Chains A and B, each alone.
Chain A
């Protein structure tokens, strides 16, 4: 199938694949972080008894069972816990939404000035490309950890980190999309005496928008995972609640939070693939 696609479509296909791969890596990271949190919780609990890791390990596998047993014992009020932690979930989603929105805006701005078909000055293009390279060369988790250390525990470091990385990563994809648009419509507008901005508004944005949205939705999914993980290390939201509840061994709460997280991620996955399909459908 791929071999029959034109070169620029293959590139888009590859970009989408690599975004999806990043999303999988972040899913995996979330799970790894969760296990680490559970495990560290167990070690803390066991240090009093001075047991080694290897004695603690069988207990680690007991833990999932304990979680369900604990929740069962909690009784019918368990579903009220879902409501209790909903605000934290919303705050994590908000964090991801806000930073994706700001990052996308910055990405759009950066991508315009990094596209050779819109900017005549080679130096300008080079400078803006360099800025984007730097922005995306550090994963948001790394930037966030440094900022959390510098600025203290709050949502701000996480938001800043995600914005920076999103701007760089999406900016590059956007600029590729822009450089692939058909130049004829832009030239048509230029020949009428339309301003530079009008040319971009109609000549570029109308053509590249479906691709912009597709990339942005995938990035949003990645950022939800990133915000959750960053919660573990002090950025607030549902991740932080999960961490705290595991530490305190509140089994019912832990299960409720995991349930919220998993259903959010599954729902978003469905919505996202639905949106993407309808966007690509519009394109043809």
Chain B
């Protein structure tokens, strides 16, 4: 399904991504861990085509998405939704418009720019918002919401894109414990319900272990671990995190989940 081959990215002499190769053969929830500067964000940004790779290829259903340009590239971006640490909503626009703009690729420039949205689009956006308990804020400006609320709106916008996969770059790093859990739960629910791959950069080990079926560890731009969470030994994890190990090993907010289902899993 997804095949990343010999991906490299240089910033000047700095090799941010170093010969990265991996495959995703079924819809998975994958956590990418590593200390800051390991190249996690760069990898996701290359997949979404926000940043150009120096060399290598990414095949999705046989097509190298790194060679797409213009319209084709934007069509791929629509298929591959991205969630950011800083939410990246348009602060002065209302929540509903922010969410509907997830469809801007399909709407076309004219219709988007004039906010000529269809009734279906509004209904879809409201349903997405309602699912994350955000429907009441639909007419509020995005900038008036708390971080956790903004991230939930960002997830709604991602869902409006009807994506084939979701990339999340440190989606909970700026959130309070409750919202961090809410966001991780919704990402996992989306993965299960829609049967799509979710690839998330996560700073803390606990979160990755609790929510992901597979963990990729990155160090200095290279993949140094790629397996199920249970085979990630502590010494390997320490190696991946280096000086940041103490912080990354702390039991986190997301280690106790919200629903009964998670208690069952943990026990």
Spell out A's residues near B (CB within 8 Å).
182, 184-185, 187-195, 197-198, 201-203, 206-207
Chain B residues whose C-beta falls within 8 Å of the C-beta of A184 in the assembled complex? 84, 86-88
Q: C-beta contact mask, B27-50 vs A, less than 8 Å → 1, else 0?
A: 000000000000000000000101
Spell out B's residues near A (CB within 8 Å).
48, 50, 73-78, 81-82, 84, 86-93, 101-102, 104-105, 108-109, 112-113, 154, 157, 161
The 10 closest A-B pairs by CB, nearest first: A188-B88, A193-B105, A193-B77, A193-B78, A193-B74, A191-B82, A194-B104, A184-B88, A185-B90, A206-B92
In the complex, what's the smallest C-beta–C-beta distance from A156 to chain B, in angstroms? Answer: 34
Q: Are A195 and B76 in contact (CB under 8 A)?
A: no
A201 to B109, CA, bound (A): 9
- Residue among B82, B89, B102 making CB contact with A185, cutoff 8 Å: B89
Q: Are B74 and A185 in contact (CB under 8 A)?
A: no
Q: Are A206 and B93 in contact (CB under 8 A)?
A: yes
Q: Are B88 and A187 in contact (CB under 8 A)?
A: yes
Q: Are B90 and A206 in contact (CB under 8 A)?
A: yes
A13 to B77, CA, bound (A): 39
Q: Are A195 and B90 in contact (CB under 8 A)?
A: no
- Determine the residue in chain A with the shortest Cβ distance to B111: A198
| Further pairs besides A191-B48, A191-B50: 7, Cβ < 8 Å | A184-B88, A187-B50, A193-B105, A194-B101, A194-B104, A206-B93, A207-B90
Chain B residues whose C-beta falls within 8 Å of the C-beta of A197 in the assembled complex? 109, 113
Q: Are B78 and A188 in contact (CB under 8 A)?
A: no
In the complex, what's the smallest C-beta–C-beta distance from A204 to chain B, in angstroms? Answer: 10
Please judge, given known A-B contacts A198-B104, A198-B113, whether A192 and B81 are in contact too, CB under 8 Å. Answer: yes
Q: Are B113 and A191 in contact (CB under 8 A)?
A: no
- Residue among B86, B91, B101, B108 making CB contact with A189, cutoff 8 Å: B101
Q: Are B112 and A192 in contact (CB under 8 A)?
A: no
- 7 examples of A-B residue contacts, CB within 8 angstroms: A182-B91, A194-B74, A194-B104, A195-B74, A202-B93, A206-B93, A207-B92
Please indicate which of the listed interface residues A187, A192, A194, A202 has the most CB atoms of chain B within 10 Å of its own CB. Answer: A192
Q: Are A192 and B78 in contact (CB under 8 A)?
A: yes
Q: Are A191 and B88 in contact (CB under 8 A)?
A: yes
Q: Are A194 and B82 in contact (CB under 8 A)?
A: no
A194 to B103, CA, bound (A): 8
Q: Are A195 and B104 in contact (CB under 8 A)?
A: yes
A22 to B244, CA, bound (A): 55
Please judge, given known A-B contacts A187-B50, A202-B90, A206-B93, whether A192 and B157 are in contact too, CB under 8 Å. Answer: yes
- Determine the residue in chain A with the shortest Cβ distance to B74: A193
In the complex, what's the smallest C-beta–C-beta distance from B52 to chain A, in angstroms? Answer: 11
In the complex, what's the smallest C-beta–C-beta distance from B202 to chain A, in angstroms? Answer: 19
- Residue among B84, B91, B93, B105 making CB contact with A194, cutoff 8 Å: B105
- Determine the residue in chain B with the shortest Cβ distance to A191: B82
In the complex, what's the smallest C-beta–C-beta distance from A205 to chain B, in angstroms? Answer: 10
Q: Are A198 and B91 in contact (CB under 8 A)?
A: no
Chain B residues whose C-beta falls within 8 Å of the C-beta of A195 in the assembled complex? 74, 104-105, 108-109, 112
- Residue among A191, A201, A207 making CB contact with B112, cutoff 8 Å: A201
Chain A residues whose C-beta falls within 8 Å of the C-beta of B90 in the assembled complex? 185, 188-189, 202-203, 206-207
Chain B residues whose C-beta falls within 8 Å of the C-beta of A192 in the assembled complex? 77-78, 81, 101-102, 104-105, 157, 161
Q: Are B113 and A201 in contact (CB under 8 A)?
A: yes
- Determine the residue in chain B with the shortest Cβ distance to A204: B90
Q: Are A193 and B84 in contact (CB under 8 A)?
A: no
In the complex, what's the smallest C-beta–C-beta distance from A24 to chain B, in angstroms? Answer: 32
A187 to B108, CA, bound (A): 18
Chain A residues whose C-beta falls within 8 Å of the C-beta of B84 in the assembled complex? 184, 187-188, 191
- Determine the residue in chain B with the shortest Cβ distance to A207: B92
In the complex, what's the smallest C-beta–C-beta distance from B119 to chain A, in angstroms? Answer: 21
In the complex, what's the smallest C-beta–C-beta distance from B129 to chain A, in angstroms? Answer: 16
Chain A residues whose C-beta falls within 8 Å of the C-beta of B76 in the assembled complex? 193
- Determine the residue in chain A with the shortest Cβ distance to B110: A197
In the complex, what's the smallest C-beta–C-beta distance from B100 to chain A, in angstroms? Answer: 11
Q: Are A191 and B81 in contact (CB under 8 A)?
A: yes
- Determine the residue in chain B with the shortest Cβ distance to A209: B92
A57 to B2, CA, bound (A): 90
Q: Are A190 and B50 in contact (CB under 8 A)?
A: yes
A189 to B107, CA, bound (A): 13
A191 to B77, CA, bound (A): 6
A207 to B74, CA, bound (A): 23
A262 to B109, CA, bound (A): 46
- Determine the residue in chain A with the shortest Cβ distance to B154: A188
A207 to B157, CA, bound (A): 19
